[in-house]
Amino acid sequence: MLGVIRHKTVRPTFSAFRHFSSSTKQQMTVRDALNSALDEEMSADPKVFLMGEEVGEYQGAYKISKGLLEKYGPERVLDTPITEAGFTGIGVGAAYYGLKPVVEFMTFNFSMQAIDHIINSAAKSNYMSAGQISVPIVFRGPNGAAAGVGAQHSHCYASWYGSCPGLKVLAPYSSEDARGLLKAAIRDPDPVIFLENELLYGESFPVSAEVLDSSFCLPIGKAKIEREGKDVTITAFSKMVGYALKAAEILAKEGISAEVINLRSIRPLDRSTINASVRKTNRLVTVEEGFPQHGVGAEICTSVIEESFGYLDAPVERIAGADVPMPYAANLERLAVPQIEDIVRAAKRACHRSVPMAATA
């Protein structure tokens, strides 16, 4: 086991980033982005604390909280027993008192054990108390499909939490997103669901000096146009943004200019950016890994039909996970989640280009 760890090459520590020149962009993994954001926010505000399973001595199940226990001590980085309902309720109660908890779910699948506290104790309290009891809490952790983890560990909760008034729901893609949105979430006075992605943790993205600054913050509720285009709008969040960008490259070679929108925020949803884009391109493809029925894509499609119907030149298209519990076998798993070719195909359909169905998976 130890041998395997030593095999993993030197991972850049946060301190390595202090040596940069302003002209070249530094690379940073999403993991380090989240770690540095947590570190900076805990340093800036003594009311911020982290609790969850294995966040302390284990350094984080996915090493997101590495080094934080050593730096801030066991009073601010708390290892909890495996009791989601209990420790989530405790986190919400601490937020009632005025602290700023960051509650980590090892995956959001386990948040279902605590969902009553997220919805009924956190999301609704400010409203039910007419503003007396605010809940400045962040619930974070990996969401959605990973690799080969099976049906109970692959559920996407974006649309579940995204439908609930009183919650804010964020889904970062890049390291810049991870830093800026996590900082915004911790500073926000309302309960925030922060949906990370396990497979993105190890991916590196370029980050500018501005992003690395400890005051960096992204606005909640604003999507980002990752790639400008004029023929079709593709919306995506989290890992699917990467797929959408790759699809856009393929489409570009075939003369279709795709505009890729990284939602960043599931609730509030940036309807104005999405609609402005569709009014420009006249075509929409929504992409998500989660289940299609009542999903994020369903909401986006409806929003566009309601607000920009006259601008649509083609029916709206949805790409989503297959309507089945996630299978384990690698070939079935591949069939259960969107692939880049699915996005390409849907974009072509929206552009009235007929495409033969792929012969093999």
Partner 1 sequence: MALSRITSPFRSTNLLIPSILSSLRHRSISNDTTLTIETSIPFTAHNCDAPSRSVETTTSELMSFFRDMVLMRRMEIAADSLYKAKLIRGFCHLYDGQEAVAVGMEAAINSKDCVITAYRDHCTFLCRGGTLIEVFSELMGRKDGCSKGKGGSMHFYRKEGGFYGGHGIVGAQIPLGVGLAFGQKYSKDPNVTFSLYGDGAANQGQLFEALNIAALWDLPAILVCENNHYGMGTAEWRSAKSPAYYKRGDYAPGLKVDGMDVLAVKQACKFAKEHALKNGPLILEMDTYRYHGHSMSDPGSTYRTRDEISGVRQERDPIERVRKLVLAHDIATEKELKDIEKEARKEVDEAIAKAKESQMPDPSDLYTNVYVKGLGVEAFGPDRKEVKATLP
Query: What residues act catalytically?
Result: 84, 153
| Alpha-carbon gap, residue 166 to 272, rounded angstroms | 20
Q: How far apart are CA 179 and CA 216, in angstroms?
A: 8
In angstroms, give the least distance from the CB of 141 to partner 1: 18
The number of residues in the chain equals: 361
**275 touching partner 1, by CB under 8 A:** no
Binding mask 40-69 for partner 1 (x = CB under 8 A): ---------x--------------------
Q: Are strands 232-236 and 204-207 parallel, antiparallel or unpaired?
A: unpaired
Taking the C-alpha atoms of residue 347 and residue 331, their distance in angstroms, rounded to an integer, is 24
127 binds partner 1, rule: CB under 8 A: yes
Q: Which of 42, 55, 94, 217 binds partner 1 (CB under 8 A)?
A: 94
Pairing between β-strand 204-207 and β-strand 26-29 as defined by DSSP bridges: antiparallel
Among 62, 72, 96, 105, binds partner 1 (CB under 8 A): 96
Among 52, 144, 180, 221, binds partner 1 (CB under 8 A): 221
Q: Amino acid identity of 348? A: K
- Choosing from 3, 131, 310, 356, the residue that interacts with partner 1 (CB under 8 A) is 131
At closest approach, how far in Å is the CB of 92 from partner 1? 6
Binding part of the chain for partner 1, among 23-31, 90-98, 276-284, 289-297 by CB under 8 A, reads 90-98
Q: In the set 13, 57, 97, 206, which binds partner 1 (CB under 8 A)?
A: 97
* Smallest gap from residue 29 Cβ to partner 1 (A): 29
C-beta separation of 254 from 283 below 8 A: no
Residue 178 neighbours by CB distance under 10 Å: 32
**DSSP class of residue 230?**
S
* CA-angle at 163, arms to 157 and 165, nearest 5°: 125
Stretch that binds partner 1, among 2-10, 28-36, 198-206, 218-226 (CB under 8 A): 218-226
Alpha-carbon span 209 to 26, nearest angstrom: 8
Residues that bind partner 1 (CB under 8 A): 49, 75, 78, 80-81, 83, 85-99, 116-117, 120-121, 125-134, 136, 165-166, 168, 188-190, 219-221, 268, 271, 306
